[in-house]
Structure 1
Amino acid sequence: MAPVTSWSSSTAAGMILAFLLVGTTLGLAAAQAPFTYIVQVAVDYPFYDIQPSPGPPGTCGGSSYGENATACEARCNATAVCVGFVHRSPVNCCFIKSRLLFPRLGADTTSYVKAPLGYTYTVQNATDYPGYDFRPLPLAGPTFFPPLCGDIGVSESAAACEIRCNAVDSCAGFVHYPFTNCCFLKFALPPANQKSDVTVNSYVKTAYLGYSVEFGLDYFGFPITVPGAPTSPACTFPPVGQAASDIPSAIAENLNACVARCDSTPACLAIAHYAVPNCCILWSTVAAPDPKPGAVYLSRRVGEQFRLEAIKTRQK
């Protein structure tokens, strides 16, 4: 089997590259057969593991395969929804990924990002879209990335940022600061904030996916009950056609976690979130609008698929 086809970060930059994603080496190019991969040394992507096919079990948990990077690449190549994989060479563990969202330091891990994935972007110079960032979820272990880009952004080139947005079906676009090389992925695009300088540029997916945002508004409909999700008796909302005794409690989590939960729930059409008292509702069906002060309503945009198979629509 052919070795992994890739761009790789240089080891000459020393320990700095253990903290920063590859920058100028990540230009998009035509995919080589069967795919081209970008190699990110000492980078891990937690969550979104899938097991698309039978294989030797790994020693790193139920979602891992026990195989080398070449075999892991072949498995990702054969899986339409695979956007990349993570490999731990000391223990020979392979993790196939359906999304690449929260890069973290990983001393014994190497990430392989499938590229390119075929979206096009409209570039808006001197434009920012504040808020609605994919925030890293709290995890034990190494810190996210250096504070250069705050606790939300990732230090990487615009090309690398684009590849990660391509790999997330609900990413609507991203904001990039070229002088500090900071990337912010967005799950929704509120009204743009025009800047008087060129310190920031926005990249909007053509016919972008992500979510539409409405403030002070919720909708009547049928909520999705998620087994095991943290609930809150502080807020309950009556779905259409149900008695008060059948009203489920809303999920107790912040807006970003609510979006992530909708992303991973196949039937989720939209979400409503109330910052006070921090309540999340997943909707499978919506009807008439229901004005609610303090509510933020996010609906998947036209063309968004509810399952990870949406990735199959991308050009390869």
Structure 2
Amino acid sequence: MHDDQLPIEADIVRAMIDDQFPAYRHEPIRQVDSSGTDHAIFRIGAEVAARFPLRAADPAACAERLRKEAAAVAAFARHSPFASPRPIGLGRPGPLYPMPWTVQSWLEGDVATPDGLAASKPFALDIAELIRSLRAGNTHGRRFAGQGRGGDLRDHDGWMSACFTESEDLLDVPRLRRLWARLRALPPAGPDVMSHGDLIPANLLVRDGRLVGVLDCGGFGPADPALDLVAAWHLLDREGRDALRARLGSGDAEWRRGADWAFEQAMGLVWYYRTTHPTMSALGRSTLRRILDDPDIRSGRVSPP
């Protein structure tokens, strides 16, 4: 998927587990067919997962990042009403894999899809309950400090310009440029709140039509209160979005900014993964279609929650 992607296979994982986590040396190992784009995931027995960063980076900087993510994962678990992984340990680089890696608990559930529960009001309300509970966390005076989604929409102008150029033969770029020009100027929706930061289908687990688990929680931290609303556009149809919005009481600015964060993410997914990860590219198209088909977002008018 990436030009700087690192090779990692089950036999390498076996050797590293046996050496560094001998308690699991007798457990079977299999690679998980994941739709994620940042880590290769291997299941270790029935209760543990190992996560290996896919992209090369400075090992020391990566280890520090993984330690911070583990702390965020633990904090997320204290605030989430749904199950999430528990950090177990940090693995060291080895002869055949040059980066730090992590071990955490395994969660059972089926990975959500863009359309599987799109019409489910109970599922929409589960997502609303997740967002509401995370927002209740204390930021301790912190504000968004990252470089990705969650701060100032206008900081993404350069990235969006690149996305529009790469998408000329894939999407109706003139229409999408006009929408970005309008949405990027939206004012802040309020003070930063605690957010998951990446509520895409691949990070949500479902069972029997309900949300049962949340993955990839290492980005838990303060961000634009609209950021986690991307889930509404990645996962729900119009009725589901209305139910989620009503439960959260999202005002016009917050709701539109949520659509714009989803728009920014979807634009990158379509072209970047068009050949290397068709599922993620298709998610981008599905999300853009929902945004463009929504009469309120399209017109700039949003009815009250």
TM-score (norm 2): 0.25
State the structure with bigger RCO (CA 8 A, min sep 6), 1 or 2: 2
Q: Which has the higher helix share?
A: 2
Q: Which has the higher strand share?
A: 1
TM-score (norm 1): 0.25
